[in-house]
Chains A and B, each alone.
Chain A
Amino acid sequence: MPIISVRDVVVEYDGRRVLDGLNLDIEPGQITVLLGGSGSGKSTLLRQILGLERPKSGSISIQGTDITRCTQADLKKVRRSIGVAFQSAALFNSLSLQENVALTLREHTALAPSIIDLIVWMKLAVVGLAEFGKLHPQELSGGMKKRAAVARALAMDPEILVLDEPSAGLDPIVAAELDELIVFLKETFQITALVVTHELQSAFRIADRIAMLFNGKLLAVGSKEEIRANVHPRVQQFLNRVPDSPVHTPALASYLGQYVQMQEVNHDH
């Protein structure tokens, strides 16, 4: 039974359809990668799954609770089983790293402070930041911030880990380290991970399943091998990094025509 089930989800912003009847199942204990280009709807889908926005129609069930129709109290319950690391890390700048990780434990559990401290250091150690717990987010590098965000996401031992563009903006070595960390978490804690990325190398390194989005629709879903073998031209274009040739777009051709005409008029004068 899927741990997350997205059914016929439609999302519109100002009449523009961003997700168009999307269906997707996320299986437990697997790393599912949402792959797609910019504007394909990946982040929008993620926001729906996290309950930050409600779709125009359709349903999203997480562990059997339809979060598009449930009460705020039920949504909170569901959210406590999800750990999220945002693209920008979204660490609280006024708190140290240790306090960032401790926040949910301090607020949502009745654990003794000494136990919370121990858990926090364990989580920081998992992501390799045990020595940096006293630092504030602004004192960390981009890669360290992302790892800190993962540590915070792991604080409550979530069943689902959601990572938005974990390796975006990082150098290849740090990106590879993060990928290894995600695989390590899945293998060690049997965690279900949903990773949003547009980076092919990273996606194929970590994924058990890949779901590929294009223009708000699910283009393909399957294992790495199934995706590689998919014959859909857009899938192949994305995998082979073939650009949409910009000079062939009608708008640019029209502007170029106008520009040439203006140059000729100027030249005549």
Chain B
Amino acid sequence: MPNLLEIAGRETLSQLDYVGSLNLQLWSTLRGMRAALPLVGNRHRWRAAVQQMLDIGVDALPMVALLAMCSGFILAMQGASELRRFGALHFVIDLVAVGFTRELGPLLTAIAVSGRSGSAFAAEIGTMKVTEEIDALKVMAFEPVEFLLAPKYLAALVAVPCLSIAANFFGILAGGFFMFFSTHLGLLLYFRYVLSSIVLRDVLAGLLKSLAFATIIAHVGCLEGLRVRGGPDAVGRSTTSAVVRSTFMVIVADAVFTAIFYFMGRT
């Protein structure tokens, strides 16, 4: 029976292998990404990227909007219940506006996209691996990274920040509804307060985070799909793994970004 040291060693090697695979895939995809760009790239890849953008972005919009509105409402209610005691109910607007643009908008979007599209990437590529379609692509003189991965990366990099902006809007709107029902504050005035409480740096920080989250989701989803070995059960495992790993990595990355912005803001 293996001892603790052996288990720790094996796990470390396995995680290092995973990180190495992520790095290799990232560089090869960045190299292949040019093919998916409009005008300079291959029009078929660009068309595939647009289709992916619709799948990742437009199709996810209702879900992200609902998620953001519920969260905005919850945040406003929870904030109000405490701030009311100090006679600072108007700070709910700052809480919702800053909370969403800096944090909740990108994070909620990333979690929703990870569950919807990260798992879909892993399932699609994993199934193609099992059914020899990836091998078929190779022998047909296609580059699977350029053919499959690059459009997904590009689409995620465009769609996730757009969804984050939408999530910000719907989350803040929900806060506005709460303020309207609890204090009869008009929506127009509410949005004027919102604009005065957030600065461009908040929005840019949120967008930067969402770009990083998009990379993580596309990256992990595709890698999990490419690592599938065996039959259909392996595809199921890779799909679960894609969601779990990408959500975990998104939250870790968020913590790192928030810490960096916090210390940058303080100095």
- Mask of B129-148 contacts with A, CB within 8 angstroms, 1/0: 00111011011111000000
Q: Answer whether residue A106 sits at the interface, using C-beta atoms and an 8 A cutoff.
A: yes
Q: Counting CB contacts under 8 A, is B229 at the interface? A: no
Flag if A108 contacts B135 (CB, 8 Å): no
Minimum CB–CB distance from B49 to chain A (whole Å) comes to 15
Of A52, A92, A106, A108, the contact of B138 (CB 8 Å cutoff): A52
**Which chain A residues lie closer than 8 Å to B139 at the CB level?**
50-52, 79, 82, 84
- Residues from chain A with Cβ under 8 Å of B142 in the complex: 107
Report if A48 contacts B (CB, 8 A). Answer: no
CB distance from B210 to the nearest CB of A (A): 28
CB atoms of A104 and B135 under 8 A apart:
no
The answer to the question of A134 belonging to the interface, with a C-beta cut-off of 8 Å to chain B, is no
Q: With A106-B44, A107-B44 in contact, do A76 and B135 touch (Cβ < 8 Å)?
A: no
Task: Closest B residue to A164 by CB, please name it.
Answer: B132
The 0/1 profile, CB within 8 Å of B marked 1, for residues 78-110 of chain A is: 011010101110111100000000011011100
1/0 contact trace for A50-72 toward B, CB 8 Å?
11100000000000000000000
A80, A84, A107: the one contacting B136 at CB < 8 Å is A84
Instruction: Report yes or no: A80 in contact with B44, Cβ–Cβ below 8 A.
Output: no
Report A119-153 residues with CB < 8 Å from chain B CB. Answer: none
Pair B135/A90 contact, Cβ less than 8 Å: yes
Are B141 and A88 touching (Cβ within 8 A)? no
Q: Check A108/B141 contact, CB under 8 A, given A88-B131, A90-B131.
A: yes
Q: A106-B44, A107-B44 are in contact. Are A90 and B141 (CB under 8 A)?
A: no
Residues of A within 8 A of B135 (CB): 47, 50, 52, 86, 90
Contact A88 B132 (CB under 8 A): yes
Q: Is the CB of B132 within 8 A of A104?
A: no
Contacts of B132 in A (CB 8 A): 86-88, 90
A88 to B135, CA, bound (A): 11
Q: Which of A47, A90, A92, A107 has most chain B Cβ within 10 Å?
A: A90
Q: Which residue of B lies closest to A78 (CB)?
A: B141
Decide yes or no: A79 and B131 within 8 Å by CB, A84-B136, A107-B44 being known contacts: no
B138 touches A86 (CB 8 A): no
Decide: A86 and B136 in contact? CB cutoff 8 A.
yes
Chain A residue nearest to B139 in the complex (CB): A84
Nearest chain A CB to B79 CB, angstrom units: 46
Query: How many Å lie between the Cα of A79 and that of B133 in the bound state?
Result: 15
Give every chain B residue within 8 A of A107 (Cβ-Cβ): 42, 44, 142
CA distance A93 to B140 in the complex (A): 16
8 closest cross-chain pairs (CB), A and B? A90-B136, A90-B132, A79-B141, A76-B141, A84-B139, A86-B132, A80-B141, A90-B133
Would you mind naming 13 contact pairs between A and B with Cβ atoms under 8 Å apart? A52-B138, A79-B141, A82-B139, A84-B136, A84-B140, A86-B135, A88-B132, A90-B133, A90-B136, A92-B136, A104-B141, A107-B42, A107-B142
Residues of A within 8 A of B (CB): 47, 50-52, 76-77, 79-80, 82, 84, 86-88, 90-93, 103-104, 106-108
- Given A79-B141, A90-B131, output 10 extra A-B contacts at Cβ < 8 Å: A51-B139, A52-B138, A77-B141, A86-B136, A88-B132, A90-B132, A91-B133, A93-B131, A107-B142, A108-B141
